[in-house]
Structure 1
Amino acid sequence: MPYAVSIDDPGVADAHDMLSPAKNVLRSHIVALEQLLDGLDDTLLKLAIRIAACRGRVILTGIGKSGIAARKIAASLAARDVAATFMHGADALHGDLGMVRADDIVIAITISGASSELLYVIRHARSIGAETVAITAAPDEAVSASCDHVIAIPALDTACDFGIAPFSSTIASIAVGDALTMLVAREIAFSRNQFARLHPAGRIGGRFLSVCELMLQDDALPMVGPDAPVEQVIAEASRTGIGACAVVDANRMLLGIVTDGDIRRHFLDGSESPASGIMTADPVTVGDDTDQHDAFAIMRGHRIAVLPVMAADGRTLVGMLNIQDMLQAGYPEK
C-alpha cells in the first residue's frame, strides 16, 4: 500500500492544507532567487572575467548538498569549454589537494561558511598561490574570511525540515553558478560550433551539428548528368533510397534535382525527356556549414523531403540531406 491515508478519505484535511509544506518550500525558493537577482553586482562579472582568463583549472569544491551544487557548476562550466573540475571537500584532505596548482581558481560552495574541510582546502590553495572564491550564505564566517573573493547568496532555509537543511540556499548556489557560467561563456565567445563539438551524443548538441554529420556524401550521393535517361535517374534514386537524385554537370555543379514526383509526372506526360528535362532547376539548398536544426526547419518550411548541400562556393554539390534521416536522428524535438 503506497500511502497510509488517502487525501480522498473522509475526515482527511483539505488537500491544500496537506500541500502547504511543499508550497512553503517553493515560495522560499522564489524569494531566494528574487533576493539573489536584486543583490547581483559586478562581483560575479569580475569572477567570470578571471575565469575566462584563467590559465589553470577552475576547481569547484564542497561538502554534502553544497558538494552536489559544486559538481553541477563544474559540469556546466566544462560544457562551455572551460577546464573545470570537481574536488570533493573530504577527498581533498586525503590526497586530492595535490591537483591544485598556483594558476588555478578554487571555488568553495559552503552554506554555513564554517566547514573545516573547506577551510583547510582554501588555506592550502592560497598558500601555493591559487585564487580562491567562496559562494556562501555566511559571508562573515571563516571560509569567506580566508578567500580572495566572496559571492553571497540568500540564507532562506526556514521552510525546510527544522529550518536547518539546505533547500533554498542550495537552489541559490546552483542558480548563481548558472549565472556565472553564462557570463563566462560570453567572455570566451563560446560558439554554437563549440557547443556541438562538446555534445556530440546529445540531442541538445545535435541541434547545432553541421549537416555534414548526417548528409549523404561521396559514393552514397545520388547524382546523374543532365543527359541521363529517366531509367538511370530511377536507378540512382533507388540506390540510395531517398527518392531523389541530383543533376550535376561534369564539374559537379548543381543544375537541379529530380524527385519521385517529377518522375511520376514524366511518365504521366509520356515524354522522353532526359534528366535535365524533368528536373526542378534552382532547388532550395543549404551550405555545408548549416546546422541540422536550421536545415530541418528549412525542409519543413518548404515542405521538401530532400535538401542538397553545397560547398562554400554555393554551386558545388557536396551532399544530400534526407528528412527521414533527420527524423531518425530525433527531429522534430519532442
Structure 2
Amino acid sequence: MNQDSPAPLDAARLTECARDVLRIEAAAVQALVDRIGDDFVRACELMLACKGRVVVSGIGKSGHVGRKIAATLASTGTPAFFMHPAEASHGDLGMITPDDVLLALSNSGNTAELLAIVPLVKRRGARLVAMTGTPGSPLAELADAHLDAAVEREACPLNLAPTASTTAALALGDALAVALLDARGFGPEDFASSHPGGALGRRLLTHVADVMRSGDAIPSVPDTAALPAAILEITRKRMGMTAVISADGRVAGIFTDGDLRRLLEREGDVRRLLVTEVMSASPATIGPAALAAEAVKLMEDRRISQLLVVDADRRLLGAVHIHDLLAAKVV
C-alpha cells in the first residue's frame, strides 16, 4: 500500500464507481425475481406452520444479514431470533426445539460452522431453510427448502468483498418477511403493537381518550353565561377556549381566544354580551375512541388548536389541545 501523499481525488472516477456498484447490486436483486417459485412457497409454508420460532443463523457478513432478517421477521409477525453458529456448537444449540425452523445463510453453502450443527438440528426434528448462492452446495442439498441468492458477480472491483451477494440475501429476506406478513393478514395495528416505542406505534396505538383532558380540566360554561364568565373560564383552564353547554348537557358551541380577539376588533364594550351571541355554533368534535392521529389531521384540516371530545349524543366528555398531542409525541 502506497504511504506517499494521496493523489488528488478524481471526482468523475468516484462517481462512476459508485454508480457501477448500484447498477450491479440492482441487477443482482432484479435477478431474484424469476427465482421466486416452488422453493420460496415451501419455505413460507414451513415458517407459517412453525409452532416455535424461526432461528436465523449465519457467520461473517451472512451473520450480519441474518441478524437483520431475524429482526424484520420478528417485527412483522413471524417470531424469530438470531443464533450464532459457532456459539451453537458450544451450548446455544439448546435454543432450538423440534417446533422451530432454522433459516441458515451462507453464500458458499459450505460454511463449516453451519454444516456442523445442521445434522443435530434436523435430528431434533426442526426444519431447515437454506439461503445460499450455490444451489448445489452441501447446505442447499440438506435443506427442506432452498432459497437461491446467487449473484453473477460482486460489486467489489476485485469480485471478493461480499457486496452484491449480501444485498441480494437481504432483499430475499425482506421478500420472505413481507410474504409471510401478507399470508398472516398482519396489519398496521399488529405492526404498531410490535413497535410501541416508535412513532408509528404511538400514532396507531394512542387514542383520543388517552390524551384528552377530562373532568374539572375541561373548560366549559352554560349557554346562559355572560361573556365575561366565558373569558374567565378560558383564562382559568388555559386551553384557549371554552365549550358552551346547553341545558340538556349537549355541546351548543365553542368560544375561543381567537373569537375574542376578533370580537374586540369589532366591538367596544363586550361585557353585556352573552356567550351564545358570539360563540361558534358548529365546533369541530371527535369521539374518545378515535385515534389521536385522526385528531391531528382534523386540527390541521380545520386549522384549529383545540377539539371537543363528545359521545354519540354530543355530550361533552373531554377536550384535547394540540399541545397535548405534541406531549404524547403523536405529532
TM-score over 0.5 (shorter chain): yes
User: Do residues 144 (structure 1) and 113 (structure 2) align?
Assistant: no
2:65–2:169 CA contact under 8 A, matched in 1? yes
Question: CA–CA distance in 2 between the matches of 1:233 and 1:105?
Answer: 66
* Aligned partner of 2:155 among 134, 151, 159: 159
Amino acid at match of 2:40: L
Residue in structure 2 matched with residue 6 of structure 1 by the alignment: 8
2:223–2:247 CA contact under 8 A, matched in 1? no
Quick one: structure 1 residues 130 and 274, their matched pair in 2 at CA, closer, same or farther if it must change by over 3 Å?
farther
What is the SS of the residue equivalent to 1:24? Answer: helix
Using the TM superposition, give the Cα deviation of residue 329 of structure 1 relative to its aligned residue in structure 2, in angstroms.
5.7
User: Do residues 223 (structure 1) and 220 (structure 2) align?
Assistant: yes
Question: CA–CA distance in 1 between the matches of 2:250 and 2:73?
Answer: 44
Using the TM superposition, give the Cα deviation of residue 27 of structure 1 relative to its aligned residue in structure 2, in angstroms.
1.4
User: Do residues 113 (structure 1) and 84 (structure 2) align?
Assistant: no
1:45–1:183 CA contact under 8 A, matched in 2? no
Residue in structure 1 matched with residue 187 of structure 2 by the alignment: 191
1:233–1:275 CA contact under 8 A, matched in 2? yes
Question: CA–CA distance in 1 between the matches of 2:138 and 2:326?
Answer: 55
Residue in structure 1 matched with residue 322 of structure 2 by the alignment: 323
2:63–2:84 CA contact under 8 A, matched in 1? yes
Question: CA–CA distance in 2 between the matches of 1:196 and 1:257?
Answer: 34
Residue in structure 1 matched with residue 278 of structure 2 by the alignment: 278
2:149–2:165 CA contact under 8 A, matched in 1? yes
Summarize deviations over 1:167-220 as a string: whole Å, max 9, x none: 111111111111222222222222222222322222233332333343334443
2:154–2:165 CA contact under 8 A, matched in 1? no
User: Do residues 306 (structure 1) and 303 (structure 2) align?
Assistant: no
* Aligned partner of 1:236 among 233, 236, 246: 233
Q: What does 1:20-39 align with in structure 2 at a 5 Å threshold?
A: 20-39=16-35
Residue in structure 1 matched with residue 36 of structure 2 by the alignment: 40
Amino acid at match of 2:67: R
1:49–1:187 CA contact under 8 A, matched in 2? no
Using the TM superposition, give the Cα deviation of residue 30 of structure 1 relative to its aligned residue in structure 2, in angstroms.
0.6
With the length of structure 2 as denominator, give the TM-score of the two structures.
0.85
Residue in structure 1 matched with residue 201 of structure 2 by the alignment: 205
Quick one: structure 1 residues 90 and 309, their matched pair in 2 at CA, closer, same or farther if it must change by over 3 Å?
farther
Percent identity over paired residues: 36
Bigger-Rg structure (1/2)? 2
Q: What does 1:50-89 align with in structure 2 at a 5 Å threshold?
A: 50-89=46-85
Residue in structure 1 matched with residue 86 of structure 2 by the alignment: 90
Quick one: structure 1 residues 221 and 16, their matched pair in 2 at CA, closer, same or farther if it must change by over 3 Å?
same
2:202–2:330 CA contact under 8 A, matched in 1? no
Summarize deviations over 1:228-264 as a string: whole Å, max 9, x none: 4434433433344331223345776433322112233
Aligned length: 323
With the length of structure 1 as denominator, give the TM-score of the two structures.
0.84
What is the SS of the residue equivalent to 1:162? Answer: coil
Using the TM superposition, give the Cα deviation of residue 63 of structure 1 relative to its aligned residue in structure 2, in angstroms.
0.7
Amino acid at match of 1:129: G
1:45–1:180 CA contact under 8 A, matched in 2? no
User: Do residues 214 (structure 1) and 203 (structure 2) align?
Assistant: no
Quick one: structure 1 residues 281 and 52, their matched pair in 2 at CA, closer, same or farther if it must change by over 3 Å?
farther
Quick one: structure 1 residues 216 and 193, their matched pair in 2 at CA, closer, same or farther if it must change by over 3 Å?
farther
Quick one: structure 1 residues 299 and 160, their matched pair in 2 at CA, closer, same or farther if it must change by over 3 Å?
same
Structure 1 residues 114-123 or 155-164, which shifts more?
A: 155-164
Summarize deviations over 1:282-332 as a string: whole Å, max 9, x none: 322333343343432322222122123344x37344433322344566676
Using the TM superposition, give the Cα deviation of residue 43 of structure 1 relative to its aligned residue in structure 2, in angstroms.
3.7
1:211–1:295 CA contact under 8 A, matched in 2? no
Amino acid at match of 1:260: D
Residue in structure 2 matched with residue 290 of structure 1 by the alignment: 290
Residue in structure 2 matched with residue 11 of structure 1 by the alignment: none
Using the TM superposition, give the Cα deviation of residue 134 of structure 1 relative to its aligned residue in structure 2, in angstroms.
0.8
Question: CA–CA distance in 1 between the matches of 2:231 and 2:165?
Answer: 65
Summarize deviations over 1:3-28 as a string: whole Å, max 9, x none: 83433xxxxxx522244433322111
Quick one: structure 1 residues 25 and 48, their matched pair in 2 at CA, closer, same or farther if it must change by over 3 Å?
same
Question: CA–CA distance in 2 between the matches of 1:95 and 1:47?
Answer: 27
CA RMSD of aligned residues (A): 2.8
* Aligned partner of 2:256 among 256, 259, 262: 259
